[in-house]
Structure 1
Amino acid sequence: MTRGAADRLLARVWAELGREPAELELLAPLPTAPLPARLDASALAVASVAAASLAGWAASAGRRSIRLDGDRIANAFQSERVARFAGEAPDVWSPLSGFRRARDGWVRTHGNYPHHAAALRRVLGLSATDAAVPALVDDAVARRPAVGLTAEVTAAGGMCVVVAPEEPAVDARLAGTPLIGVSRLRDAGPVRSDAGRRNAGHPLAGVRVLDLTRVIAGPVATRTLALLGADVLRVDPPEPAELGWQHLEGGPGKRTAIVDARTPDGTAVLDGLIADADVVVLGYRPSSLARIGLDPARLAGRHPGVVIAQLSAWGFEGTAAERGGFDSLVQAASGIAVTEGERGAPGALPAQALDHASGYLLAAAVCTLLDRRSVEGGTWLARMSLRRTAAELLSMPRTAVPTPERTLDDDARARHSIDIAGPAGAQRIALPAIAAPTGPLTWAEPPHPWGSDAPGWAE
């Protein structure tokens, strides 16, 4: 929409991170990204990518400016639209995911993961065969009240929210809090970075990042850190298995291992990895992390000097902290779906923008806290929630009709994507959105199949 909105959001984030305003002068004028919406998805996308780019390179940019490409940013935010694996487009949404009209309103369900789909089927009384027929699913939902269905699906371990209008008072309260919550958990001595490698073009060379996340926001943050030179190891539990295409799409630049932290051997392996990590990125529910001793307080107590980054769908206070969710569900419950809807039916942003923006902003926070740790020491925590990011978007200027009108065509998507061949076979993925003073960046390492690496740090 307007470059001014992106500039204002970036300036706010920069101030919240405690960074020098003069660093903003290293950015060339910000572009717009063709992400048509009533809400300013373009400004949110551009500002978040600008923050990650600048936080990564500010210390080594010198007098060179960083220039972002709006089309490349839009393509990266819509990365699932260009992804191809062995020439085939992935099935991004399962038949049980989407907007559906209940008896007294609309709901949005999410059944991409098999265990969530199974919970929805149980509540709706559908067999796996029936659940593959949209009309049968629609009919089963239409017989149920929206609030009651949502409560029952949630209690069964599934994902469903009521499509709700905006709550201006709630959004105003959230927008009055930091978009990125940063706190110092305890003291620790400074940890110096390798300035020689920084100047050679690898801002995070030598930094070890343990990635304990799934589903877009966390993987976007950690693949951005990998792009900046960090050694990123993603570790997953054996169950539930990750969706293959989703892991590959979020996996460039990283290695991937499976560790069962519920076993003594797995606990020992994970403890060893954390002991040598500079950064731990968390994306699981607080109770799950606490059961295996990975909540931020205990991590900080056992590993002084570590930088912890944590993501949540709904927030970190009370029951919201334990509530599972995805970008599409937060859009539906926060009022975004109503705002983007047409003729009484809910709609969606042109990208999973809450996820992507939160990922880039969290990467900017990690870069900032690593720099701060090198000077003043400390054990640091950065937190973001998709719901807080939604409140930021809802508080920005909007239009009555979706703008900009331009969208990326197939040729533009091809220009901003890369065909690679790696351990997981032939793939097409979107090129990185962030840029360096020397220009756009590309991935140094293709995605690896889920869990195909040993759980250890690179030499």
Structure 2
Amino acid sequence: MTTHPDAASTPPEPSDVVAALWRDAGLPAEALAHLNLDGAEPVLPSSFAVGTAAQASLAASALAAAALWHSRTGRWQQVSVDMRHAIAEFRCERYLRVDGGPAPELWDKIAGTYRCGDGRWVRLHTNFPHHRDGVLRLLGCANDKAAVQAALEKREGEAFETAASDAGMVVAAMRSFDEWDRHAQAAALHGLPPVTLERIGDAPPQPLPAPVSPDAQPLSGVRVLDFTRIIAGPVAGRTLAAHGADVLLVTAAHLPSIPPLVIDTGRGKRSCELDLRDPDDKRLLHKLLHGADVMVQGYRPGGLAELGVGPEAAARARPGIVYVSLSAYGHVGPWSHKRGFDSLVQTATGFNHAEAEAAGSDTPRPLPAQVLDHAAGYLLAFGAMAALHRRAIEGGSWHVRVSLAQVGQWLRGLGRVPDGLKAPEQKIDDIADLLEAVPSGFGMLTTVRHAARLSETPARWTLPSEPLGTHAPEWLPRA
């Protein structure tokens, strides 16, 4: 939606939100007649339209898959998404169980919010060991919540945010919406949609071939290189895999990961290890790139470009590539190179303050899900499929961009939910009908089924989640 972020109205119809995303991506309007959306706000305790954001972003990705199916077969199919199911999938990492027991711990022990000496709150993200150790070095204290609190009482919030960012760490000072709106980064993002598609090179049109098997899915035969970690990027790859893509996750032994997220987002993917600092592995990557249709990356801005696989280099090496980039704060503005995660972007851009204010609380209140991450994941997948559709008709190489801050701006534009904070919490027993048990390389998983229902090509993950580096760095034969 293009509504001003200060929209105070009740949320728009989810179908209108999908239609706005659809128009911005340049996709055929006739597809919208094949979408059915059920449910209504509120679905979780929040003053924001988190259910609408979940349903609309997930529906946009599923409808884009249906549009590609139509382009391959000449047949439309019905796409249905229930809001309650969509928001459950937005919290899938909370509901993950392994062999009937809890998944590995997600959060580091000192992660969270702290009040600084000037009264401003900051949020620390310390789930990666190097981020934790870097923050502790800056503070000169022990790895203990009480010691961190005592050290931050001697600091000013924004000054510590800046010092941490300058050191390559990830810390956010809490701002109100008014404070964020006066920030230069907010001004740089103003008016940008949550997903941008840009043609970055020439290539002839590349329509996807007609399916060769009766059980083919919309993305059968499409190859995706997945250079992502944590939630947003991995959800994008998992979504593309659910619609039939051959998704190859590329990581390296020296890179940190978060075990429960690896388990939950690995469904449907293969996983290999390549160290791009090694010349032989770099050559292997370029061989993979030549056979790829889509590359999704969520590393720090400019990180892969420094290794020779930025969007322009990828488009030169593989004309017709759809290069998909995730960032924290956007590709323009003074914070365009700043690292960040969902919880930090919520804090920096005003959501934690606004939610606390709505609840009558004087302590930061996060959204009831990693909404920016999950919405970004489905919008990344939507953008990738929209670009494949455009590539089939117009040709070209494409760069799709999504940032957590732009998704936050979009969420603000969906308005507020009157009495939304009175909605009941959604516990795992409340969504038992939305869960499934699936085998994996980690044991038997209890997970949330995919919320989008496609009448002819049901979303499914044909490969189990496996430990990182299980597979060879090679493509499967095209289906």
Check the 8 A contact 2:106/2:259 in 1, yes or no. Answer: no
> 1:19 aligns to what SS in structure 2?
coil
Write the distance in 1 (CA, Å) between the matches of 2:108 and 2:436: 26
- Please tell me whether the aligned partners of residues 261 and 267 of structure 1 are also in contact (alpha carbons under 8 angstroms): yes
Q: 1:113 aligns with which of 121, 128, 135?
A: 128
Q: What is the TM-score with the length of structure 2 in the denominator?
A: 0.90
Q: Which residue of 1 aligns with 2:6?
A: none
- Residues 187 and 305 in structure 1, CA contact (< 8 A), matched pair in contact too: yes
- Aligned residue for 1:448? 466
State whether structure 2 residue 220 is matched by structure 1 residue 220.
no
d(CA) in 2 for partners of 1:272, 1:296: 16
Instruction: Provide the rounded CA distance (Å) in 2 between the counterparts of 1:172 and 1:197.
Output: 49
- Residue 149 of structure 1 deviates from its aligned partner by 1.9
Check conservation: 1:432, 1:443, Cα contact below 8 A. Answer: no
Instruction: Give the direction of change, closer, same or farther, for the CA distance of 1:305–1:64 in structure 2 (3 Å limit).
Output: closer
Residue 333 of structure 1: aligned partner: 348
Structure 1: which amino acid aligns with 2:453? A
Aligned partner of 1:98 in structure 2 is: 112
2:156 counterpart (136, 139, 145): 145
1:307, distance to aligned residue in structure 2 (A): 0.8
Question: Please, which runs of 5 or more residues in structure 1 have no aligned partner?
Answer: none
After superposing the two structures, state which structure 1 stretch, 101-110 or 63-72, moved more: 63-72
Paired AA for residue 382 in structure 1:
V
Change (3 A) 1:26 1:298: same
2:423 maps to 405
Q: Distance in 2 between matches of 1:355 and 1:111?
A: 17
Instruction: Give the Å deviation of 1:112.
Output: 0.6
Return the offset for 1:64. Answer: 4.2
User: How many residues are treated as equivalent by the alignment?
Assistant: 455
The answer to whether residue 86 in structure 2 is matched with residue 73 in structure 1 is yes
Q: How does 1:334-413 map to 2 (within 5 A)?
A: 334-341=349-356, 342-399=360-417, 401-403=419-421, 405-413=423-431
Q: Percent identity between the aligned chains?
A: 35
On the 8 A contact 1:7/1:30 being kept in 2, the answer is: no
Q: Which moves more between the two structures, 195-204 or 410-419? A: 195-204
Task: Indicate how the Cα distance of structure 1 residues 267 and 60 shifts in structure 2: closer, same or farther if over 3 A, else same.
Answer: closer
Residue deviations 1:193-223 (CA, integer Å, cap 9, x gap):
1222597440000000000111111111111
Q: C-alpha deviations, 1:317-365, integer Å up to 9, x for none? A: 2542321000000000000110111422111111111111111111111
SS at match of 2:123: strand
Q: Show CA shifts across 1:59-101 (max 9, x none).
A: 4464642221222211110112111234223312111211111
Task: Tell me which of 165, 172, 188 is aligned to 2:203.
Answer: 188
Whether 2:162 is the aligned partner of 1:154: answer no
The answer to whether the 8 A contact 2:69-2:217 is kept is no
Quick one: distance in 1 between partners of 2:431 and 2:394? 43
Which residue of 2 is the match for residue 239 of structure 1? 254
Q: What residue in structure 2 maps to residue 38 of structure 1?
A: 47
Tell me, in whole angstroms, the C-alpha distance in 2 between the residues paired with 1:420 and 1:184.
39
Match of 1:10 among 12, 18, 22: 18
Q: Is the 8 A contact 2:113 2:121 kept in 1?
A: yes
Q: State the secondary structure of the residue aligned to 2:319.
A: coil
Can you give the 5+ residue segments of structure 2 that lack an aligned partner in the other structure?
1-8
How far did 1:303 drift?
Answer: 1.2
Give secondary structure in 1 for the equivalent of 2:447: strand
- The residue aligned with 2:34 is 26
Task: Report how far residue 178 of structure 1 moved.
Answer: 2.4
Distance in 2 (alpha carbons) for counterparts of 1:199 and 1:56: 17
Q: Is the 8 A contact 1:3 1:32 kept in 2?
A: no
Q: After TM superposition, list the pairs within 5 Å mapping 1:289-328 onto structure 2.
A: 289-328=304-343
Amino acid paired to 1:277: A
Q: Give, in whole Å, the separation in 2 of the partners of 1:64 and 1:371.
A: 16
C-alpha separation in 2, matches of 1:5 and 1:345: 32
Deviates more, 1:223-232 or 1:364-373: 364-373
- Normalised by the length of structure 1, the TM-score is 0.93
**Which stretch shows the higher mean deviation, 16-25 or 393-402?**
393-402
Give the drift of 1:305: 0.8
* Corresponding residue number in structure 1 for 2:455: 437
Q: 1:228 to 1:349 in 2, by over 3 A?
A: same
The structure-2 alpha-carbon separation of the partners of 1:393 and 1:54, relative to structure 1 and needing over 3 Å to count, comes to: same
Match of 1:164 in 2: 175
Question: C-alpha distance in 2, partners of 1:456/1:12?
Answer: 38
Determine if contact 1:32/1:46 at 8 Å carries over to the other structure. Answer: no
Match of residue 4 from structure 2: none
Partner of 1:58: 67
Q: Select 1:209's aligned residue among 211, 224, 228.
A: 224
Would you say the 8 A contact 2:77–2:454 is kept in 1? no
The alpha carbon displacement at 1:265 in A equals: 0.7
Q: Give, in whole Å, the separation in 1 of the partners of 2:300 and 2:442.
A: 29
Letter in structure 2 aligned against 1:73: A
Cα distance in 1 between the residues matched to 2:227 and 2:76: 36
CA distance in 2, matches of 1:2, 1:23: 26
Residue 450 of structure 1 and its aligned partner are, at CA, apart by 1.2
Instruction: Compute the displacement of 1:376 (Å).
Output: 2.3
* Aligned 8 A contact 2:293 2:321 in 1: yes
Specify the SS of the correspondent of 1:315. coil
Contact 1:93 1:112 in 2 (8 A): yes
Conserved? CA contact 1:71–1:408, under 8 Å? no
3-state secondary structure, aligned to 1:422: coil
Quote the residue 2:5 is aligned against.
none
Report the Cα distance in structure 2 between the residues aligned to 1:437 and 1:3, rounded to whole angstroms: 28
Q: Distance in 2 between matches of 1:221 and 1:78?
A: 15
How far apart in 2 are the matches of 1:288 and 1:64?
A: 40
- The one-letter amino acid of 1:57's match is A
In 2, distance between residues paired with 1:413 and 1:27? 23
* Contact 1:83 1:249 survives alignment (8 Å): yes
**Partner residue in 1 for 2:97:** 84
